[in-house]
Amino acid sequence: MTTPHDDPHGEDIRRAAALLADASYCIALTGAGISAESGIPTFRGKDGLWTKHGEPPLNQFDEFRDSPADWWRNVAERRRNPDELTASLVNAQPNDAHFAMAELERIGVLKHTITQNVDGLHRLAGMERLTEIHGNSRLLRCTQCTTRSPFDEIPEIFPPRCDHCGGIVKTDTVMFGEPIPPDALERCYRESSRADCVLLVGTTAVVSPAADFAFAVGQRGHPMIEVNLDPTVITQYCAVALHDKAGELMSRIAASVKELRGSGDQ
Ligand code: APR
């Protein structure tokens, strides 16, 4: 017989699983913390990139607009001499938390995930009902028609042009000061407005508009569930808040949901 002492998260895992299993339209918001166990640094908190190096300048998108060709030369240079975040993205693989969320999507419990991460690991874990609100570092995007294409190598001409509309192409990653692509915003509004439960994994939930889509679900009186290493500003609003590593917690929550849903294949 396990006691709360030897399984401090057991009861909250069961409560979170029950809320997820009972929801008719659960969505998720994920952040850098879900990829921490894949070796990708987070931004805030004691080892965060912004904590160590300060936030990047807010004029990145202005620099792009002023001279897309010069901006692309800098991208080429950074690819040759990657910084800590870029280097960590290159070979990163999904971890147990990504696979647990993919399982919740597969069994129909998780209807959509909004991720703030640009690492593409949710896609690599097999998730499809996904909005990468801050873009995907493995893709390029036309600034006119938002057509996306693989970012396999540095283009030969600066700036590259869109094959469909001739617009200027940039990396899909959304820079500070850059508007969120309209197609991504529209999908987030649509998914957030129909949700009756929201799961937040690995995020401080301090960046808009991403965090707003999660808060909106809670503000309509629906349950918010937090899975995060540390307490955050949303902890106080959550029906359940689990504070430990996402890999183990999400795996246990997914297993518990499958038990409740009697989906058989454990
Ligand atoms: N498991 C679960 N949570 C973790 C883990 C882990 N193994 N490791 C760290 N965390 C938590 C931290 O406690 C922190 O609360 O993940 C959270 C990461 O928060 P941030 O670093 O603020 O990242 P995020 O919320 O994704 O930031 C949002 O800010 O700068 C922008 O564009 C950037 O998309 C990013 C946005």
Task: Answer whether 246 contacts ligand 1 (Cβ < 6 A).
Answer: yes
Task: Answer whether 37 contacts ligand 1 (Cβ < 6 A).
Answer: yes
The structure's pTM equals: 0.95
- Give pLDDT tens digits along the chain (266 positions): 667 678 999 999 999 999 999 999 999 999 999 999 999 999 998 889 999 999 888 899 999 999 999 999 999 998 889 888 889 998 999 999 999 999 999 999 999 999 999 999 999 999 999 999 999 999 999 999 999 999 999 999 999 999 999 999 999 999 989 999 999 999 999 999 999 999 999 999 999 999 999 999 999 999 999 999 999 999 999 999 999 999 999 999 999 999 999 854 44
The identity of residue 40, as a single letter, is I
Instruction: Pick the atom of ligand 1 nearest to 30's CA.
Output: 26
**Which residues lie across from 28 on neighbouring strands?**
113, 199
Long-range contacts of 85-89 (CB under 8 A, 24+ apart): 85/40, 85/41, 85/49, 86/137, 88/39, 88/40, 88/41, 89/40, 89/118, 89/119, 89/137
Tell me, yes or no, if 164 is annotated catalytic. Answer: no
Residue 69 C-alpha to ligand 1 middle, in angstroms?
Answer: 32
Query: Ligand 1 pocket check: which of 9, 42, 52, 238 to mutate, most ligand atoms within 8 Å of Cβ?
Result: 42
CATH 3.40.50.1220 fits 10-262, yes or no: yes
Nearest-angstrom CA–CA distance, 139 and 118: 9
The DSSP secondary structure of 113-170, one letter per residue, reads EEE---S-HHHHTT--SEEETT--TTEEEETTT--EEE--S--SSSS-B-TTT-PBEE
